[in-house]
Amino acid sequence: MEFAEELRASLQEFLSWENIEIREKGSRITAISPLSWEVRGAEGKPLLHLWGENCNVTRRVLAIADHSTERLALAVERFGRSRPERLEMIRLNFARAAKDISREEFCEQLRRILAEQFPDEIVERMSIAADLEHSLSRMYVRGIVKRGLVSCAFLAVPQSQSQDTLESCLTYALLWFDRARQSAAGSKITSLRLIVPKGKATLLANRLAALDTQYPVVVYELDSLSEKLEKVDPCGSGNVSSWLIPRRESQLLLERAAKDLAALVALAPNCITVHASVQTREVTLRFLGLAFARWQDGHIYFDVHGLSQKLDVRTELPLRQLIMNLQNFRNPSAKDARHPLYRGQPERWLQSIIVQDVSRVDISLHPDHLYEQVFAQSGGQRGILDLLGVTRAGRLAILELKASENVDLPLQAADYWARIRRHQQAGDFARYGYFSGITLQPALPLVFLISPALHFHPATDTLLRFLSPEMEIVRIGLAESWRRGIRVMMRQ
């Protein structure tokens, strides 16, 4: 029997097993089943192609080194390498958890891809473990590669991660870059390499645009199937588009809903506010920031015990009871601070208080020009800006709010700042009906980071150092009792 035929027969028999793990040089490549394969080419040294959901491997097979019930080991050559290596297929008696497979396999796959794409570099360190002391998340793979006396820190995002994790990856990459530079011994870490799944780099465009240019960040997109890294420029032409919501459209929607909502708002006029969503053609009703009902096409809907109900004669009593519960439990004097109605959406509650008089945050801010929703969603990104205002002198002001500790606060603000700056330079605010009667200054927007004074994340100072020196940032620390009224305890 020719060797190629012998190889096909061995693979046909062995890969019929349900749970197979592929290893190369002792490192696992994949454990995905089913796994597709093909043998082709020269009879003496045939090519073996293995592929699956996150595996795409082609090797020239020299010999079958071991074939037992549990293991099929092949001596293989990798393209561009003269020394034979060992490719193993192992039968498992159990199926690994999908999450564990993803995390472990991604590490091994990334190590292999970096070695192939950057053959002059050595992977010195690689970890996916959490480091809470230095605010490093287990959601990402981080490491250091070295070439001569120069090293590069890298952080990679697995394919399976959520959009929130993707958008926050630059925050954690910068924290890792800072940590790696501090702990580097005998080498100089000169740059940061950020690796994201294919097609996802544009999510980071605005944040990257707001970084200080003295810190080189190189972005790559990873195609897990072809195992290729492609260097990209997320800030390139067409990648940072966003859209302002015309003020007139929001006002027309509110005017349409006003008559239907008047009686409902009158039940708690100091607490219930209305908010137009132009994209969905809905008006949301919020009680001290907490959404509890919505208007659409002349009808009002509200939630009771997780079920959406349409307001009519039959359901009027449950809606009134809901508002009474909100009045009892969502107020600054509520006795039960753990009640869901008290705890829900704290940033929205804080926002509802600031909107009443933004000058309590900073006397320079104009109390009559404050907008809660500015951006339409674009490219899958959340397009809601906390608050956009203006100083009495006409300078744009971005207010980013957090009611609890959040490491991503500086980069979220940077994202908005980059977008606001672009629309400012294009003259879009006057065009779309914002700040009527105000002459806007050409000066770049101010940024206010607002949070209870004791709830700024410890990494905030580190992250602020990476932002563009053009960003003028003011940190406002509030008293813990902010629900009872805004009292500024710290201003930096």
Rounded to an integer, the average pLDDT of 129-134 is 81
pLDDT at 153 over 50: yes
Rounded to an integer, the average pLDDT of 46-65 is 83
443: confidence class by pLDDT, cuts 50, 70, 90: very high
The domain 346-491: what is its CATH number? 3.40.1350
Note whether 398 and 421 are within 8 A (CB). Answer: no
What's the CATH architecture for 3-95? Distorted Sandwich (2.70)
Note whether 14 and 6 are within 8 A (CB). Answer: no
Q: What is the pLDDT of residue 490?
A: 94
Note whether 169 and 193 are within 8 A (CB). Answer: no
**pLDDT single digits (tens) 369-386:** 999 888 865 444 454 568
Q: Full-prediction pTM beyond 0.85?
A: no
Amino acid at 107: C
* Candidate from 178-192, 207-221, 353-367, 426-440 with smallest mean pLDDT: 178-192
pLDDT at 235 over 90: no
Residue 234 CA to residue 231 CA, distance in Å, equals: 10
Note whether 282 and 295 are within 8 A (CB). Answer: yes
116 membership: H or E segment, kind and range: helix 98-117
Residue 422 CA to residue 239 CA, distance in Å, equals: 13
99-232 against 346-491: fold identical:
yes
The mean pLDDT of the chain is 87
- Higher per-residue pLDDT: 322 or 226: 322
- Nearest alpha carbon to residue 295 among 320, 321, 274: 274
Per-domain residue ranges of the chain: 3-95, 99-232, 243-343, 346-491
What's the CATH architecture for 99-232? 3-Layer(aba) Sandwich (3.40)
Q: What is the pLDDT of residue 236?
A: 72
Q: DSSP label at 479? A: P
Residue with tokens 């250091």: 144
- Higher per-residue pLDDT: 116 or 328: 328
Note whether 288 and 349 are within 8 A (CB). Answer: yes
